[in-house]
Copies of this chain bind each other. A is one copy, B any other.
Amino acid sequence: MFLKNKVQIAFIVLVIFSASCKAQTKGDTNAKKIKKQEHPSLILTKSGVESIKAQLGNVPLFDETLAKVKAEVDAEILAGIEVPIPKDFSGGYTHERHKKNFLILQKAGVLYQILDDELYANYVKDMLMAYAKLYPTLPVHPQTRSYARGKLFWQCLNDSNWLVYVAQAYDCVYNYLTEKERNHLEKNLFKPFADFISINNPQFFNRVHNHSTWGNVAVGMIALVMDDAKLLDRALHGLKTDNIDPDAKDNDGGFIKKPGQKVGFLANLEEPFSPDGYYTEGPYYQRYAMYPFLVFAEALQNVKPELKIFEYKDGVLLKSINTLLNLTDADGNFFPLNDGQKGMSYYSRELVSAVNIGYFFGGNNTNLLSIAKQQGEVQLDDSGLAVAIGVRNGLETPFVKKSINLSDGKNGDEGGVAILRFPGSKGELSLVMKYSAQGLSHGHYDKLSFSYYEGGCEVIQDYGMARFVNIQQKGGGNYLKENTTWAKQTITHNTIVQNETSHFNGDFETGSLHHSEIYLFDASNPKVQLISAKETNAYPGTEIHRTMALIKNDNFENSFLLDIVKVTSENENQYDLPYYYMGQLMSTNFDYETAESLKPLGNKNGYQHLWKEASGKTLTENAQVSWFNAQRFYTLTTITSKTDELIFARIGANDPNFNLRKEPSFIIRKPNSKDTYFVSLLESHGHYNPVDEIATNAFSSVKNLKVVYSDHLYMAIEIETKSNKNYLFLFSLNDQSKTSNHQIKIDDITYEWIGVYKLTEILKN
C-alpha cells in the first residue's frame, strides 16, 4: 500500500510535468528515498524549527510576533476549551467560536514546536479530542442558506477553512500523540471531515472557484499530514465523478461547473490565474484565496519538493503575490474590483503569509521586506524567520508600485485590468481601469469602468460589495440582496449604461462568455500614460471605446485625467455615464433644479437605488462640476451638448434596511444618440484645511475643452487652459500600430503623427 501510493504520486508528477525531465527524475528519486514522513513537515519543518530555536531572541519581528501569539493563546488556554453545537451564521456565536478555535489551534501547535512546552500540545490534543467527539454526531448545519452546507459552519467553505488550519495543528502535535490517539482522530474526525467537504459536496469541491480552492487545500493539507496519497490525489485533481448538473448555480449566481472543466487544486491554479498572476475574481478574493494557495504550496514544497509547485504555470503563484501587492492604493488597500469589501489590505493575515512565503520561496526579493516591515508581523515558520532576519539585517528596499497592465484569463487573452500611476503633489494619482472578463460569480457588470485615487483617498470610487462581512446584524454578515440589485449593476460603476440596462442585460451566462479587448496600454512616456480598450458585447450592436490618459502638464498644478468614451451604435439609444465622486459639491458652471421631493432615478437595474437630487442642462460647450474632499478641490470638465441632461444623484433609494452608503454621483445623460462621445477632464487641485482656513488654487485651470475632430478613424480634442495655452490630443481609433503614420486636417491645418496618439501644444492668435 505504501509503495503503491508513492508510485502513484510519481506517476502524477510525470503527467503534470511531462515537459520537465528534471522534475520527473527528482520526484522519482525522492519517492524512493522517503521512508517515514517526518513531523512537522507542512509549514514548520524539523530543520526549520531548529533554526528558529537557534535564532530566538535575536530577530525582533519574529520575537514580537511570537510574544503576541503566545499571549493570545495563553489567554485562550486560560479561558478554557469551548466546542459548541453549531447553530449560527457568520457573526454569530458558534460561528465565531469555531473560527477562533481553528486559528488558535494552529497557533498553539506552532507554539508547542517552537517553545517545546507540552502545555500547548496538550491543549491541541484536548480540543481535537473534543471535536472528534462532536463531529460524528453532527447533521448538516441547521442554517439552510448555502448551496453547500457545512457541519461546523453554515457553509463547507468555512469547514474547509477549519481543516486548512487544523491540519497544521495536527502536524505539529503528530508525534506528541500516541498512534492510538492519531487513529482515533483520523477515523472520527479528519477522514470523515475530508470526505464530507469533497465526496458529499461535489458541487462545492469539484469547481474552479475560491470555494473549491479552500476545499481542495483542506483535503490536501490533511492528506499530507496523514500521508494519504488517495486523498492527496483527490485534492490535486478533484473527484473523478461528481454528477453536477451543468445548469447548477451557487448562492452568488455563479455556475458550479462548465462541462468538461478540469477540477482540483491544480485546475484552480491553472484557470483563474492569468499568466500575469491576476486572479479573475478580483483582488479581494485573490487575497482570500492566497492563503490556501500559498500555504498548500509551501506544504507541498516541503513534503513533495519534486512537484516544484512554485514553478507551476511559469511561477504563477509567486507572480500573483507581486500582482496582488500592486492591486493596492497608496495605503495598501486593495482596489475593490467586483465583490470586494473596502478597507481590506495587505495588512491582512493572508498577505503576511503571502509576503513571507513569496520572500522565502521566491528568491528573497528585498522589496518584499519593506512590506513585511509595514505589516509588523511574520508567519511563525521558516519563511517568517527568513523575513524577520532580512528586516533585522536592514536588507529591505522600497516596494515601488508602477503603472501596470494585468491580463485576465487563463491564457491572458481575456481582457484585463490596467493601473496607471503618477506621483502627485498630495500623494500618488492612481487610475484603475477594468476591461476584464466577468470574474466568475463575484464579477460585476462593469466593462470599461474605472476608479481614481489620490494618495489613499478615493476621488472617483468603485462602490465595492454590498455586504458587511461577518457583521451579523446585516443579513448574517453575508451578501445582501442589494449586492445583486445595486452593487453588481452597471449604473453603480463609472461606465456607460445604455437605455438604463446593465451590460449583458445583467445576465451572468452571457457575461461569462465575453470580455473587453485591449486597444492600447502605454506607460512609457513620463508625461502621458494611457489605457484604451473596447467593448462590443455588453450591448449587441454598440461599440464602446474608452481611452483614459494621465497627463502631466505645467499649466496644471497636478497631473490630470483625460477620459474619452466613444460610442458607436447601430441604433439610437440613451447613454448614461456616472461619476461617483467623493466629497461635497462646491459649485457648477450651469443651472440645475433640485427636487422638492426625491424620487428614484428609475425602477430597475440599480436605478431604483438612486435618488434623483437635481437635474440641469447647459447651453455652453462645457459643464463643470467642482467638489471638495480631504482638504482638496476636484473639478470635472465635460463636453456637453444642449440636449444632455446633467443629473445629481445619491445612493440610498429603495434601501429598506439602510444597507447602502448614501454617497453622491454626477451623471451625464445623452438621450437619443446613435454615435456619440463623452469627453471629460478631471483635475485635482488646491488645498484647504479648517485650521488655517486658507483656500489655495480652488478653481479649475481649464478654460475650454472641445472635440475639434471626430470620425470613425480619429478623434482630436483641444484643451485650452486659463493660462491661455492650447493643447491638442490626437488619437487614432482603429490602428494600434506604434509605427503607422496618421494625418488629419483641422481648421485647414494638417496635423501628422506616428503611432496611436499625440499630445501637442498649438499656438493660437
Select A690's contact among B342, B585, B613, beta carbons within 8 Å: B342
Select A599's contact among B597, B658, B661, beta carbons within 8 Å: B597
A639-682 interface with B by 8 A CB criterion = 648, 650, 652, 654-656, 658, 661-662, 664
Residue A359 CB within 8 A of the other chain? no
Select A471's contact among B477, B628, B648, beta carbons within 8 Å: B628
Contact A470 B693, CB 8 Å, known A594-B655, A655-B594, A656-B594:
yes
Residues of B with C-beta under 8 A to A348? 691-692
A616-650 interface with B by 8 A CB criterion = 626, 628, 648, 650
* CB proximity of A205 to chain B, nearest CB, Å: 24
Residue A16 CB within 8 A of the other chain? no
Contact A611 B598, CB 8 Å, known A91-B698, A342-B690, A690-B342:
yes
* Cα distance A614–B652 in the bound complex, in angstroms: 12
Interface CB pairs A-B, < 8 A, 20: A96-B694, A343-B691, A344-B690, A345-B690, A345-B691, A348-B691, A349-B692, A468-B586, A470-B688, A471-B688, A471-B695, A471-B698, A473-B698, A474-B587, A584-B658, A584-B661, A585-B658, A594-B655, A597-B599, A613-B652
Residue A469 CB within 8 A of the other chain? yes
Residues of B with C-beta under 8 A to A96? 694-695
* CB proximity of A301 to chain B, nearest CB, Å: 27
Further 16 A-B residue pairs, CB within 8 A, beyond A473-B699, A596-B600? A96-B695, A343-B690, A343-B691, A344-B693, A345-B690, A345-B691, A347-B691, A348-B692, A349-B692, A470-B694, A470-B695, A472-B695, A474-B586, A584-B658, A597-B600, A613-B652
Interface string of A577-616 (1 = CB under 8 A from B): 0000000111100000010111110000000000101100
List the 5 shortest-distance A-B pairs measured between CB atoms, nearest first.
A343-B690, A585-B658, A598-B598, A473-B587, A473-B586
* CB proximity of A352 to chain B, nearest CB, Å: 11
Interface string of A454-488 (1 = CB under 8 A from B): 00000000000000111111100100000000000
Residues of B with C-beta under 8 A to A598? 597-598, 611
Number of copies: 2
Residue A341 CB within 8 A of the other chain? yes
Residues of B with C-beta under 8 A to A345? 690-691
Q: Which of A597, A611, A628, A699 has the most CB of B within 10 A?
A: A597
* Cα distance A31–B199 in the bound complex, in angstroms: 103
* CB proximity of A324 to chain B, nearest CB, Å: 15
* Cα distance A297–B156 in the bound complex, in angstroms: 74
Contact A650 B626 (CB under 8 A): no
Contact B626 A473 (CB under 8 A): yes
Nearest B residue (CB) for A696: B96
Nearest B residue (CB) for A594: B656
Residues of B with C-beta under 8 A to A471? 586, 628, 688, 695, 698
* Cα distance A596–B599 in the bound complex, in angstroms: 7
* Cα distance A349–B626 in the bound complex, in angstroms: 29
Residues of B with C-beta under 8 A to A499? none
Contact B626 A693 (CB under 8 A): no
Select A650's contact among B347, B662, B695, beta carbons within 8 Å: B662
Nearest B residue (CB) for A586: B473
* CB proximity of A333 to chain B, nearest CB, Å: 9
Contact A698 B472 (CB under 8 A): yes
* Cα distance A469–B661 in the bound complex, in angstroms: 28
* CB proximity of A382 to chain B, nearest CB, Å: 25
Residues of B with C-beta under 8 A to A587? 473-474
Contact B695 A477 (CB under 8 A): yes
Residue A689 CB within 8 A of the other chain? yes
